[in-house]
Amino acid sequence: MTRFLARVEQASDADAERVSPNGGWSVAGIAWHVAVTNEHFAALVDGSVPLATAPEADFSETPFSEITALVPDKLEAPEIFHPPEGVTRAEALARAHASQVRLARALREMPESRGLWSVNSILGQVSVYQVGDWATAHVARHNAQAKRLIYNSQ
Protein backbone atom coordinates (compact mmCIF):
# COMPACT_ATOMS: atom_id res chain seq x y z
CA MET A 1 0.00 0.00 0.00
CA THR A 2 2.88 2.34 0.78
CA ARG A 3 4.36 1.84 -2.69
CA PHE A 4 0.97 2.34 -4.33
CA LEU A 5 0.26 5.53 -2.38
CA ALA A 6 3.72 6.90 -3.19
CA ARG A 7 3.11 6.24 -6.89
CA VAL A 8 -0.18 8.15 -6.83
CA GLU A 9 1.32 10.97 -4.73
CA GLN A 10 4.22 11.40 -7.18
CA ALA A 11 1.95 11.61 -10.22
CA SER A 12 0.80 15.04 -11.28
CA ASP A 13 -2.88 15.87 -10.91
CA ALA A 14 -3.17 15.80 -14.71
CA ASP A 15 -1.56 12.34 -15.02
CA ALA A 16 -3.54 10.93 -12.08
CA GLU A 17 -6.89 12.28 -13.23
CA ARG A 18 -6.57 11.50 -16.96
CA VAL A 19 -8.90 8.81 -18.25
CA SER A 20 -7.48 6.78 -21.13
CA PRO A 21 -9.16 7.29 -24.52
CA ASN A 22 -9.71 3.51 -24.38
CA GLY A 23 -11.84 3.95 -21.27
CA GLY A 24 -11.37 2.57 -17.81
CA TRP A 25 -10.47 4.39 -14.64
CA SER A 26 -7.96 7.12 -14.08
CA VAL A 27 -5.15 6.56 -11.57
CA ALA A 28 -7.20 8.62 -9.10
CA GLY A 29 -10.16 6.34 -9.84
CA ILE A 30 -8.00 3.30 -9.17
CA ALA A 31 -6.88 4.80 -5.84
CA TRP A 32 -10.52 5.46 -4.92
CA HIS A 33 -11.44 1.87 -5.82
CA VAL A 34 -8.56 0.50 -3.72
CA ALA A 35 -9.68 2.67 -0.79
CA VAL A 36 -13.31 1.54 -0.95
CA THR A 37 -12.20 -2.08 -1.29
CA ASN A 38 -9.86 -1.72 1.70
CA GLU A 39 -12.74 -0.28 3.71
CA HIS A 40 -14.84 -3.32 2.82
CA PHE A 41 -12.02 -5.71 3.70
CA ALA A 42 -11.58 -3.94 7.05
CA ALA A 43 -15.30 -4.28 7.74
CA LEU A 44 -15.15 -8.02 6.99
CA VAL A 45 -12.16 -8.41 9.30
CA ASP A 46 -13.51 -6.35 12.21
CA GLY A 47 -17.06 -7.67 11.86
CA SER A 48 -18.76 -4.32 11.22
CA VAL A 49 -20.10 -5.99 8.05
CA PRO A 50 -21.33 -9.31 9.47
CA LEU A 51 -20.72 -11.56 6.48
CA ALA A 52 -18.14 -13.86 8.06
CA THR A 53 -19.38 -16.98 9.79
CA ALA A 54 -17.85 -19.50 12.16
CA PRO A 55 -16.18 -22.22 10.14
CA GLU A 56 -17.97 -25.46 9.44
CA ALA A 57 -16.30 -28.48 11.01
CA ASP A 58 -15.06 -29.66 7.61
CA PHE A 59 -13.90 -26.23 6.36
CA SER A 60 -10.37 -26.26 5.01
CA GLU A 61 -8.68 -23.19 3.57
CA THR A 62 -7.81 -23.36 -0.09
CA PRO A 63 -4.23 -22.10 -0.48
CA PHE A 64 -4.49 -18.47 -1.53
CA SER A 65 -2.13 -19.05 -4.48
CA GLU A 66 -4.75 -21.45 -5.89
CA ILE A 67 -7.50 -18.89 -5.37
CA THR A 68 -5.60 -16.06 -7.10
CA ALA A 69 -4.70 -18.35 -10.01
CA LEU A 70 -8.42 -18.43 -10.85
CA VAL A 71 -8.74 -14.61 -11.04
CA PRO A 72 -9.00 -13.49 -14.67
CA ASP A 73 -6.72 -10.73 -15.98
CA LYS A 74 -9.72 -8.43 -16.27
CA LEU A 75 -12.15 -8.68 -13.39
CA GLU A 76 -15.09 -6.28 -13.32
CA ALA A 77 -15.56 -4.90 -9.83
CA PRO A 78 -19.10 -4.66 -8.50
CA GLU A 79 -20.62 -1.21 -9.02
CA ILE A 80 -20.31 -0.25 -5.32
CA PHE A 81 -16.52 -0.36 -5.73
CA HIS A 82 -16.45 1.96 -8.76
CA PRO A 83 -15.07 5.47 -8.28
CA PRO A 84 -17.29 8.49 -8.82
CA GLU A 85 -16.84 10.23 -12.14
CA GLY A 86 -14.27 13.02 -11.94
CA VAL A 87 -12.71 11.91 -8.64
CA THR A 88 -9.59 13.98 -7.98
CA ARG A 89 -6.17 12.73 -6.97
CA ALA A 90 -6.47 14.57 -3.64
CA GLU A 91 -9.88 13.04 -2.85
CA ALA A 92 -8.71 9.56 -3.74
CA LEU A 93 -5.48 9.88 -1.77
CA ALA A 94 -7.26 11.10 1.35
CA ARG A 95 -9.63 8.14 1.27
CA ALA A 96 -6.83 5.69 0.41
CA HIS A 97 -4.67 6.84 3.32
CA ALA A 98 -7.61 6.52 5.73
CA SER A 99 -8.44 3.06 4.38
CA GLN A 100 -4.85 1.94 4.87
CA VAL A 101 -5.00 2.92 8.55
CA ARG A 102 -8.40 1.26 9.06
CA LEU A 103 -7.42 -2.01 7.39
CA ALA A 104 -4.09 -2.22 9.20
CA ARG A 105 -5.84 -1.67 12.53
CA ALA A 106 -8.50 -4.29 11.77
CA LEU A 107 -5.86 -6.87 10.83
CA ARG A 108 -3.65 -6.04 13.82
CA GLU A 109 -6.54 -6.27 16.30
CA MET A 110 -8.21 -9.37 14.82
CA PRO A 111 -8.53 -12.17 17.38
CA GLU A 112 -7.12 -15.48 16.19
CA SER A 113 -10.53 -17.10 16.51
CA ARG A 114 -12.03 -14.56 14.08
CA GLY A 115 -9.30 -15.19 11.53
CA LEU A 116 -10.53 -18.75 11.20
CA TRP A 117 -14.06 -17.67 10.29
CA SER A 118 -14.94 -17.74 6.61
CA VAL A 119 -16.53 -15.50 4.01
CA ASN A 120 -18.31 -16.56 0.84
CA SER A 121 -16.81 -14.18 -1.72
CA ILE A 122 -16.43 -13.69 -5.47
CA LEU A 123 -13.24 -15.75 -5.09
CA GLY A 124 -15.09 -18.55 -3.32
CA GLN A 125 -14.91 -19.45 0.36
CA VAL A 126 -11.99 -17.69 2.07
CA SER A 127 -10.98 -17.37 5.69
CA VAL A 128 -10.92 -13.96 7.31
CA TYR A 129 -7.12 -14.36 7.50
CA GLN A 130 -7.12 -14.73 3.72
CA VAL A 131 -8.96 -11.42 3.38
CA GLY A 132 -5.62 -9.86 4.39
CA ASP A 133 -3.87 -11.83 1.63
CA TRP A 134 -6.56 -10.73 -0.79
CA ALA A 135 -6.10 -7.07 0.20
CA THR A 136 -2.37 -7.36 -0.47
CA ALA A 137 -2.87 -9.01 -3.86
CA HIS A 138 -5.53 -6.44 -4.75
CA VAL A 139 -3.25 -3.48 -4.04
CA ALA A 140 -0.35 -5.08 -5.93
CA ARG A 141 -2.57 -5.64 -8.96
CA HIS A 142 -3.75 -2.04 -8.98
CA ASN A 143 -0.29 -0.67 -8.30
CA ALA A 144 0.88 -2.32 -11.52
CA GLN A 145 -2.17 -0.92 -13.35
CA ALA A 146 -1.48 2.60 -12.04
CA LYS A 147 2.18 2.31 -13.04
CA ARG A 148 1.20 1.40 -16.61
CA LEU A 149 -1.27 4.30 -16.83
CA ILE A 150 1.17 6.87 -15.48
CA TYR A 151 4.09 5.81 -17.64
CA ASN A 152 1.99 5.41 -20.78
CA SER A 153 0.68 8.98 -20.37
CA GLN A 154 4.13 10.58 -20.29
> What CATH number has the domain bearing residue 109?
1.20.120.450
pTM strictly above 0.85: yes
At residue 119, φ and ψ (nearest 5 deg) are -130, 130
At residue 121, φ and ψ (nearest 5 deg) are -125, 180
| Alpha carbon distance 58, 60 (integer Å) | 6
Overall domain count for the chain: 1
- Which stretch of DSSP H or E encloses residue 127? strand 124-127
Q: Residue 106 CB: number of other CB atoms within 10 A? A: 24
**pLDDT per residue rounded down to tens, the chain (154 residues):** 999 999 999 999 999 999 988 888 999 999 999 999 999 999 999 999 888 999 888 888 888 888 888 777 777 888 999 999 999 999 999 999 999 999 999 999 999 989 989 998 888 888 999 999 999 999 999 999 999 998 876 5
Q: What is the extent of the structural domain holding 102?
A: 2-152
CB 56 within 8 A of CB 47: no
